[in-house]
Structure 1
Amino acid sequence: MPTRRDLLAFLAAASTALLSDRALAQAIDLSPEQPGRVRAARDEEAIRLIAKDARFARDGVFTVANNTGRFPFGGYASDTKTVIGAEPDIAQLVADALGRRLEIVPTSWADWPLGVSSGRFDAVISNVTVTEQRKEKFDFSTYRKDLLGFYVKKSNPLVIRDPRDVAGLKIIVSSGTNQEQILLRWNDQNVKAGLKPIDVQYYDDDVVLYLALDSGRADAYLGPNALLSFKAAQEGRTRLAGNFSGGWPVLAEIAVTTRKGAGLADAITRAINTQIRNGNYAKALARWNLSAEAIEESRTNPPGLPRA
């Protein structure tokens, strides 16, 4: 495995090129005003689907928990207090469609299940994947694919569509992750088929990792698509070469999560589908460079990832 000393030797030569790439990078709006945030009209059919006995945390409000930990999912704007991101944008579309004012409540990942179950929040919209275990306590309205992505140097023409395409390549992945397990399964599959093994590389330092891509010491980096897509849009140094489900070979989907039996899921699903049809949904994802994760239709409580 390349050492930090080896790769830092490339830093001086790469600096000029990296600065040039950043100058060309797509601008991401981190202002508290969010003038580009997409808004929706009331969806009377969605409102009619709210159960008669449904109870909201606050009158006239759609209260949503969000783990404001990382963009593009959710974080703080340049004023350090306004919550913005792809998930708040989806929450805004749903709130508008249901005719309610949106309130985002910053919440730790560990705290959202109790908050939703107790009625403190109407929903959590914070990159929650549908699983069969979670479906025992929560209802789901899907709005995004849970994808992993291969990212390469922007000038690299590599395309990755299936496991055979990574045979013999130098792939960076984080140790102990879901994507590492999938990549190693792909490698085993390829070797058994007589193909070249993957050269799996691990780095603890992002500076060194991206220098490896820039210098050609690595061909691609495999990680959560949303995070790497946002970084690509910010810095302009990498591009998507291919992606696949985070639950490979099973489909994994991200969903608005509500309390089981709260009577909100069908209304939220309808609201999302209206936004898919009228184009607002696509615009909301595009703002955060997440178009690759768009779904064609929202579903209520679809099959989730199986229990381990």
Structure 2
Amino acid sequence: MALSRFASAAALAAAFALVLAGCTNAAEELAAGDPTASQGPELPSEKISELAADPELQALLPEDVAESGVLRVATDPTYAPFEVYASDNQTVVGLDADLAASLGQLLGLRIEFVPSGFDAIIPGLSSGKYDLAMSAFSVTDERKQNADFVIYHQSGSGVAVPLGNPEQLSMDPASLCGHTIGAEKGTTQGMEILPEFSKQCESAGAAAIDIKLFPGTDKAITALSSGRVDGVVSGATGLGYQAKITGAFELAEGGDYASKPTGLVLPKGSPLTPAITAAMQRLVTLEPYEEAFAKWGVNPSNYVTAEQVPVS
């Protein structure tokens, strides 16, 4: 049962702590010797529509991949909502898992996830250990020097608000002027974005933003539940997922602020890149793409178009 708009701070803090458990480092949890450490709240289970294989896309596959019938996909399943272990601690689920499954269907290939530490993924690609990787990689100029990218998601900062968004907040600075807004200490949102927004408010003759910084985003969300802040600014994709899981708040509608692309990764110059690029360009126009985003609480503002998929 979803928490009500007026859920107690303690109840929301407990729910939020469970969400964060799905985003921690699995290796650290195991090292701590706590078998329940990686257990989080019940994960979304909606079914994504299946797609038929497309012969035109299959024709783009390298011969060895087409013959194997398998795509080996590296991922670090510690970062919900992109990838995380299901309750069996073996099955990889998440936005990336659902999108990879749809890509496999279009290409007539079976997806085989290979768990890996995040830092080891790109070196593993270069050595041929995997065919590609999906693990919420931000597309950066530095990474593009050593790998190919195919964009499937974009995200920046968003604002968490009480259900119904009574103050009509958004990532438009003008909507935040004069409001009390929370953020986590040390984050870009708390140290750069909100102070800059507040300056814009004052320059426009409006009241400054009353910025409240907390030791963790969970503490900021607890303050939101108790009415001590009007909104919380943090990463939009994470906030959307947390809102989906807890039902205790929502992510304000509208585009993200300072949005950046996320892409799946292939070895530099991979002969598989054209097929994956073309398949993703097709996928982002189909219902399963939207279904996967909705399932994992990711805002439609995080969609990309077919034109945004290729990376030069």
| TM-score range for the pair, normalised by the shorter chain length | 0.7 to 0.9
- Matching residue of 2:249: 238
2:187 maps to amino acid: T
Matched, 1:270 2:263: no
The change in CA–CA distance for 1:173 and 1:103 in structure 2 (over 3 A counts) is same
Q: Which runs of 4+ in 1 moved over 6 A?
A: none
Structure-2 separation of matches of 1:207 and 1:43: 44
Structure-1 separation of matches of 2:144 and 2:219: 40
2:75 maps to amino acid: N
Secondary structure of 1:262's partner? Answer: coil
> How far is the alpha carbon of 1:89 from its aligned partner?
0.7
Matched, 1:168 2:181: no
Matched, 1:286 2:299: no
Render the CA deviation track for 1:216-246: whole Å, top value 9, x for unaligned: 2101111111211111111111011245446
> Does 1 or 2 have the higher relative contact order (CA < 8 Å, sep 6+)?
1
The one of 43, 61, 83 equivalent to 2:92 is 83
- Matching residue of 2:36: none
- Matching residue of 2:83: 74
Structure-1 separation of matches of 2:208 and 2:66: 54
Structure-1 separation of matches of 2:311 and 2:114: 24
The one of 111, 116, 121 equivalent to 1:112 is 121
- Matching residue of 2:144: 135
> How far is the alpha carbon of 1:57 from its aligned partner?
12
Kept after mapping to 2: 8 A contact 1:152/1:239: yes
Structure-1 separation of matches of 2:42 and 2:67: 30
The change in CA–CA distance for 1:205 and 1:177 in structure 2 (over 3 A counts) is closer
Structure-1 separation of matches of 2:222 and 2:286: 42
Kept after mapping to 2: 8 A contact 1:38/1:284: no
Equivalent residues in 2 for 1:191-210 (5 A)? 191-205=202-216, 208-210=219-221
Secondary structure of 1:42's partner? Answer: coil
Structure-1 separation of matches of 2:299 and 2:49: 15
Structure-1 separation of matches of 2:147 and 2:140: 10
Structure-1 separation of matches of 2:49 and 2:224: 35
Matched, 1:257 2:250: no
- Matching residue of 1:10: none
1:81 maps to amino acid: Q
Residue ranges of structure 2 left out of the alignment (5+ in a row): 1-5, 16-40
The change in CA–CA distance for 1:57 and 1:150 in structure 2 (over 3 A counts) is farther
Structure-2 separation of matches of 1:97 and 1:71: 25
Kept after mapping to 1: 8 A contact 2:183/2:217: no
The one of 39, 46, 66 equivalent to 2:57 is 46
Secondary structure of 2:252's partner? Answer: strand
> How far is the alpha carbon of 1:137 from its aligned partner?
1.4
Structure-1 separation of matches of 2:179 and 2:108: 51
- Matching residue of 1:222: 233
Residue ranges of structure 1 left out of the alignment (5+ in a row): 1-12, 23-27, 303-308
Secondary structure of 2:125's partner? Answer: helix
